[in-house]
Amino acid sequence: MSDSGARRPIFSQEETTYELKIPHLKRLFKFLIPYKKWLLLTLVFMFVATVADLISPYLLKQAVDIYIPKKNFKGILIIGFLMILMLFINKECSKNKIQLANRTGQMVLFDIRKALFDHIQNLSFSFFDRNSTGRITVRIVNDVNTLNNLFTNGIVNVITDMSTLIIATVIMFSINFKLALVTFSVIPVFLAVLFATRNAIKRNWRQVRRKISNLNAYIHENISGIRVIQAYVRQKVNRSIFKEVIDDVFLSWMKAVKVNGIFAPAIEVCSMIGTLIIYFYGVKLLKINGVTVGTLIAFVSYLDRFWRPVVTLSNFYNQLLVASASSERIFEVLAIEPEIKEDENPVYIEDFKDRIEFKNVWFAYKDKEYVLKDVSFEIKKGTMVALAGVTGSGKTTIANLLARFYDPQMGSILIDGIDLKKISFKSLRRLIGIVQQEPFLFSGSILENILYGRPDAKFEDVVRVCKFLGIHEFISELENGYDTQVSERGTRLSTGQKQLICLARVMLQNPPILILDEATASLDTQSEIMVQNALSKVMKDRTCVVIAHRLSTIKDADLIIVMEKGKIKEMGNHQELIKKRGIYYNLCMSQIKFVKAS
């Protein structure tokens, strides 16, 4: 219990108090504008279906009051034919209404989800630093899904139900004003029940949504961390926590259903009371001023059609509450501006010609907590520059700034004298290739993964790159060669094989500048040798920025920059830095001692 209790705050991050926020709903409904013709056509079908449905009781009244007493068989046949026709029109128009409403709703959801996905794709790395994958996924999937009922059925249904209520009421008052007035005397009773139960229903379903959110969060976390779970044999403990989480869902759901169950019977009771009033008062009117049997039958039918939509309308407010909360979270993401923006008039660079310059660069991931402090250095074309230092010294940050995943708060970074902020994203990404410590492959074939950055490349180009890197043979030996499917993150392959495929993906673009961020750090000895052999071919005659802890990787660099607490402490080649007997020397000695000890 204490274990799960300690974890519960992680799962209770979703908003639990919903308020109806009209501006968000107005903005949400703007997504309907491109489909206004489809929506109008849906409403036409809806109106025709409603009218056809409400004509039937009146036709029945005419049959009972006029044609049946006179035994007018022809009139009865005509009424029967008209009722069948009204039923046919109602069903056909209802079918078309449902199809169009769902089509329009799904297109709106498609547009909202696409807008979210497109926007998130262009957000800066800082956004992903602050938000977990699960939280982002919830915005694109869950929050948009909660709008499904509102857009596919909710809006059209509420208009249908309002139309039914209004038309039925008008017809009932036109048939007999007194009987209608007495019949609707039960409405205050219904409103009292509605206001008494609405808040309780709303509160309980909010709790259900929060518990389901907790459940989704816990499942996502467990699937993501399954290797750690099994490594620490946590299955039994996690199963206990999961049982508590799903128990919470079950109990909150049953409580909500119990409270919600009060409302439907209340509607039935109100409807029954209304029907009894019609019969009781109607029978009196039959004797007093000639209310007909057909009128009573019509009133009962209209009353049934009156109460049917009431439940839907009463639930519509809850739909609006959920939609308001979801739209707030959706628009909250859409309102986030990318911190890294392309210049309005970007410079397109065809090739890297001379040098890279860092000039007095200061950078902080959080305000004023600088991880780089007044960093300045140059990288000449065709040279290999290594970044050395302990973990957290700022090496990877320099690589991220060079790739312009972030912008420095102060100072500037230039390529051939042009500030990175002025260079177009497309040409900058074409100039710079990055091989990261953790290789990432997408679900699909090996060929698709290699072609990821250059999908228009020919298969012959892919084979040429793979042969150059020495990986063509191992790929060809797989069951389907280059068409072999790999699962998410390439779990079918060894880490070394995944890294080589990622390297092939980079090399297919043939970038003049290459960033190697701990590219061999997570590899075993044999895989490291394979990758190092490939890297030695790739790095030849190319400008390279290498981040590595291992001496064997960086000792041949033209320039080694030693970082400590965000500052450059030493610069020079391997021999020069060894002679200084400073930080770099101590790093090398500690590594040599570790190797000897092992």
| pLDDT, tens only, 133-185 | 767 777 787 778 878 777 777 777 778 888 888 888 888 888 878 777 777 77
CB 264 within 8 A of CB 201: no
Residue 575 has pLDDT above 50, yes or no: yes
Q: What's the pLDDT score for residue 109?
A: 87
Among residues 315, 2, 16, the alpha carbon closest in space to that of 154 is found at 315
* Long-range contacts from 218-225, C-beta under 8 angstroms, 24+ separation: 218/11, 218/242, 218/245, 220/133, 220/134, 220/137, 221/10, 221/134, 224/133
Token pair of 529 as six digits:
């040798």
Note the pLDDT tens digit of each residue in 213-222. Answer: 677 778 877 8
Q: What's the pLDDT score for residue 199?
A: 67
Residue 592 has pLDDT above 50, yes or no: yes
Token pair of 234 as six digits:
């946590």
Among residues 106, 119, 116, the alpha carbon closest in space to that of 147 is found at 106
pLDDT-derived band at 120 (thresholds 50, 70, 90) equals: confident
Residue type, 157: N
3-state secondary structure labels for all residues of 161-180? HHHHHHHHHHHHHHHCHHHH
Residue 107 has pLDDT above 80, yes or no: yes
Give the global pTM: 0.69
Of residues 337 and 208, the one with the higher pLDDT is 337
Q: Name, in order, each residue with C-beta under 8 angstroms of 579's C-beta and a sequence gap of 6 or more.
A: none
Mean pLDDT in residue range 28-42: 86
* Long-range contacts from 342-347, C-beta under 8 angstroms, 24+ separation: 342/424, 342/425, 343/421, 343/422, 343/423, 343/424, 346/422, 346/423, 346/424, 346/425, 346/427, 347/418, 347/422, 347/423, 347/424, 347/427
Among residues 477, 382, 353, 364, the alpha carbon closest in space to that of 126 is found at 364
pLDDT-derived band at 209 (thresholds 50, 70, 90) equals: low
Q: What's the pLDDT score for residue 377?
A: 92
Cα–Cα distance measured from residue 267 to residue 352, given in angstroms and rounded to the nearest whole number: 75
Token pair of 72 as six digits:
């007018």
Q: Judging by beta carbons within 10 Å of its beta carbon (0-12, 13-18, 19+), is residue 9 exposed, middle or buried?
A: exposed
Q: What's the pLDDT score for residue 408?
A: 92
Tokens 């602050």, located at residue = 130
Q: What's the pLDDT score for residue 521?
A: 65
Residue 92 has pLDDT above 90, yes or no: yes
Bridge partners of 563, per DSSP, are 568
- Structural domains of the chain in order of their starting residue, each with its CATH number: 22-334 (1.20.1560.10), 355-437+512-597 (3.40.50.300)
Mean pLDDT in residue range 207-217: 74
Could you tell me how many residues make up the chain?
A: 598
pLDDT-derived band at 418 (thresholds 50, 70, 90) equals: very high
Q: What's the pLDDT score for residue 2?
A: 39
Q: What's the pLDDT score for residue 537?
A: 77
Return mean pLDDT, the chain.
Answer: 80
Question: Worst-scoring range by mean pLDDT, 153-162, 247-256, 332-341, 564-573?
Answer: 153-162
Helices (H), 63-72: none
Q: To 5 degrees, how large is the angle CA 532–CA 522–CA 478? A: 70
Token pair of 245 as six digits:
């989480």
CB 359 within 8 A of CB 413: yes
**What is the phi-psi region of residue 290: left when phi exceeds 0, alpha when psi lies from -120 to 50, beta otherwise?**
left
Q: What's the pLDDT score for residue 1?
A: 39
Token pair of 519 as six digits:
């590219």
